Amino acid sequence: MSYQHVLLVTDLLSDADKVALKTKRILAGSPKARLSVLHIVEDDMVRFGYELVPSSSLSGDVHNEKWQKARAKLAQFLARNELEAVNSEVTAAISNSKGIVDYCHEKKVDLLIIGRHERHGIAAWLVGATADSILPNVPCDSLVVKLDEPVSE
């Protein structure tokens, strides 16, 4: 199958290059495909009465040090892996899952590529894997790249 819009979702951890390598292989087989790369910074929430509101939406501060570091890291990731994206962005969402699913719907993605870290015991129960929670909800094909246990930044 030839894909038109491929989305690579990255956590920018040290093993993200493994997912980038798989992405390059897919793109080699779909030369007309355009690549988007997404990194989500989970939004801090502020409670107003019964409503939860994303704090970055209130402050509009998407240019602070946390955001600048994430953007720089994403640029380094793209350069290191020789990936040319038509769109690369760092965005905020209430959760990684919601941000990824919304992006796939809005941008008409036809292939999602994401890594999945192995988690065991209480970590699997408490944190879970983002890939597990999004797969039933994305409107496109998905490639989940199996990674080892979570690594540090």
Listing DSSP states for 82-131 in one string gives T---SEEEEEEESSHHHHHHHHHHHHT-SEEEEEEE---HHHHHHT--HH
Q: Which tokens sit at 135?
A: 């797969």
* 20: helix, strand or coil: helix
Which residue would you say has higher pLDDT here, 31 or 113?
113
Report the 10 Å Cβ neighbour count for 101. 20
Contact 24, 82 (CB under 8 A): yes
Question: In order of start, what are the domains of the chain with their CATH numbers?
Answer: 6-147 (3.40.50.620)
**What is residue 151's predicted lDDT score, i.e. its pLDDT?**
56
Tell me the β-bridge partners of 46. Answer: 53
Burial class from Cβ neighbours inside 10 Å (0-12, 13-18, 19+) for residue 59 reads exposed
Q: Which tokens sit at 76?
A: 């380094």
User: What integer best gives the mean pLDDT of the chain?
Assistant: 79
pLDDT in tens, 4-46: 999 999 989 888 999 999 999 999 999 899 999 999 876 554 4
**What is residue 92's predicted lDDT score, i.e. its pLDDT?**
74
